[in-house]
Structure 1
C-alpha cells in the first residue's frame, strides 16, 4: 500500500514532498502539519498554494487532515528553491475564534446541541455517539472561545471531544477500538520508552464537605470526609480537597477525587513508541483514541497490556520514514468532572422553560 503524502488544494493534488510532519492527538485540537518540497521534484515550481486555502492532506488513499493552509514559506538561493507549507484542521476556528450565539446562553440543551450550534457557523459538523446530559443553563462569557465552551459542556457529560480526519468534531466516550497487532519490540517497534513517574501521585485523596451552618450553632453541622485510596503508592502521601458549593458539590467533588487518583496514575505511566510503518498489521493508519496491546517485557510492562494511543505523529525526512506515538492507560484520558452551577439544582431547573 502506497503511503505517499498528497496535498489537495483548489482541486489540484500535489505529492513528492521531501519533508513531512503530521500530528493528530486526543488532546491536541486541531491536528496540524508541516510539509516541504524542493525544485528538484517535477512540478514544484508550478505549485500554487495560498495562505487561507482549504486543503485536504492524505496518506495513500486515507484522508488525515481536512482544514486550511496557515502559512506558506518560499526559500530561494542560487542553488535551490524550497517550498514549506503549514496548516491545521478545520477545528482551528473553534480554538482561535470567540463563541457567538444570539442570546449568549443555552437553556435545556445537551453538550452535542451546544457544540453543534457553536460549530455550525464555521462549517464544522459534530459527530456525537452520545448527546450528553441536558444542561439546564449555560451562559457564554463574551470573549470565550467556542472550544472552551464545548470542552466545558463535554466534561459535564463526561465525554471526550476531538477532531477527526474530516475536520469535524467528534464527541463520545473513550474508544474500545484496537490497533491490529499492537506493538512489540523487534517486530514492528524500532524503539520504545516507558516513563514511570510517581512525583505527582498520592496514596490517599480526601474530600471534605465543610458548611458555614449559618442557621445553626457552631459545630453542629456534621463534618463529612470522602476517601479514595491508591494502593499502588509505596508510602503515605495525602491530598485533600474541599467539596464545591451547592447541592451537587459533594457528588461532583467525590467524582473528582476518583478522577484525580486514576488520572495521576495514568499520567505517571507514559509509553513512547517509534515504528517505521504508519499502519497497523491490517493496513489501518494509527489514530488517536485507539487501544494498542504492548508486548514489551524489556520495559517491565505486563505482556499484552492495552494502552490508549493519545497522540500520533507521521514523519518523513532525509532520515527516513517513521511514526511516533504516545500511549497511556485509558484512565489518563477520562474527562475531568466539574461543577458549573452556582445555584441549587432545583433553582437551576426552575430556570429551564417548559417544553
Structure 2
C-alpha cells in the first residue's frame, strides 16, 4: 500500500490529495509543491502558515502555504494549494546592506539566511571570502547566486530549512540503478553546446589593495580554463561580481566552464514511484548507475533535480541527471 502524502498545518494532518507535484534540485535555491484536493473538503486551512509535507514519516518540505486557488461552479469544484520551502523567502525578500571582509563563506550565508530562519552547512574545506558586500535592494537569492559564482560553489536548499554548500562529486550513491527496460519508464537525452565555449577568462579587481598592487595589476587579475570538447574558437570573458584575487579568478573561470558543460548535457528519466528498491527517496546530489542502450549510456550519473508527481492511480519521479564530475573544478574540461 502506498504511503500517505501528508500535509501538516497547525498540528493537523491533511491527506487524500487528488494530485501532488513537488520539485527540488541543486540549480535553484528552493523547492516548491502543489496540492490539488478536489472537492472532498468543505473547509480548508488558510495561507501564510508554516507547514510540513511528508511521504509517510519521511519529510519532504518544511515551508509555508502561500497560494490558494478555490473554484466552485456547475462544472467544477476544486481547491489547489501551493507552497515553497523556507528558503523561498530569500528569493522574494531583500536583505540588509552589509560588508564582509576576510569572512568565512558559511558565516556570510548564515548572516543572509538568519532573518528567515534558514541556516547553511557544508562538508567542503572553504576558503575565506576576502571581500563581499550586500547591496541595497538586493534579494537574498541574488546575493547567494553572486556569492556562489564568486566562490565556485552550489548553494541549494535541502527542502527542510537548511542550505547546502558544495561542489565537486557527491559522496552518496544510490542503491538503485536506472536500467532501460526495467525501471525506466521514459528517458530523454538533451545535448546543447550553444552556451559552451572553448576558452574562459575571468577578470576581476582587488578593491582596497592600493598599497599592495600597482593600478594596472589591480585591473588585470585573471583566471583561465578551457573546454577541449569545443574545437572551434569560441572565447568567453566574464567579470567578477565581487573583489577577488588571482586564485578566486582561476576558480571562477573553471566554475564557469564546469557549469556550462553541465547544463549542456542532461538526461531526463521518469521512474515509477518516489523511492528506490530499498525504500529510499530519490534525492538530488546522489550518484546513480544508469544503463541505456538507446542513449549509449552505461555509467554513474549525478541527480541534480527531482520532481515528484502523484495522483490517486499512480506516482512517478522525474529525475534530471548530469555527468558525475559535472561540478568539479578542472582547468581543462575534456568530457
TM range (shorter): 0.7 to 0.9
Q: Which residue of 2 aligns with 1:351?
A: none
Equivalent residue, structure 2, for 1:232? 229
Three-state SS of the structure 1 residue aligned to 2:284 is coil
Partner of 2:30: 30
Indicate whether 1:328 and 2:325 are aligned.
no
Size of the aligned set, in residue pairs, is 319
After TM superposition, what 4+ stretches of structure 1 lie above 6 angstroms from structure 2?
223-227, 242-247
Partners of 1:25 and 1:31 within 8 A in 2: yes
Deviation (angstroms), 1:247: 10
Aligned pair partner of 1:170 in 164, 168, 179: 164
The structure 2 residue matched to 1:197, chosen from 192, 212, 226, is 192
Residues 132/317 of structure 1: CA separation in 2 closer, same or farther (3 Å cut): same
Shift of 1:96: 1.0
- TM-score under structure 2 normalisation? 0.83
SS of the aligned residue for 2:268 comes to strand
CA distance in 1, matches of 2:229, 2:105: 35
**Match for 2:89 among 85, 90, 93?**
93
What is the CA–CA distance in structure 1 between the aligned matches of 2:121 and 2:221, rounded to whole Å? Answer: 41
Instruction: Check whether the contact 1:19–1:37 (CA below 8 A) recurs between aligned residues.
Output: yes
Residues 132, 159 of structure 1: 8 Å contact kept: no
**Whole-Å separation in 1 of the counterparts to 2:120 and 2:196:** 35
2:79 maps to what in 1?
Answer: 83
Q: Residue 91 of structure 2 contacts residue 140 of structure 2 at CA under 8 Å; is this kept in 1?
A: yes
- 2:47 counterpart residue number: 51
Partner of 1:2: 2
Contact 1:115 1:150 in 2 (8 A): yes
CA change 1:50–1:300 in 2 (3 A) is: same
- Distance change (3 Å), C-alpha of 1:115 and 1:215: closer
Q: Which structure 2 residues correspond to residues 137-156 of structure 1 after superposition, within 5 A?
A: 137-156=131-150
Higher strand share: 2
Highest Rg: 1 or 2? 1
Counterpart in 2 of 1:315?
Answer: 309
CA RMSD of aligned residues (A): 3.4
TM-score for both structures, normalised by structure 1: 0.78
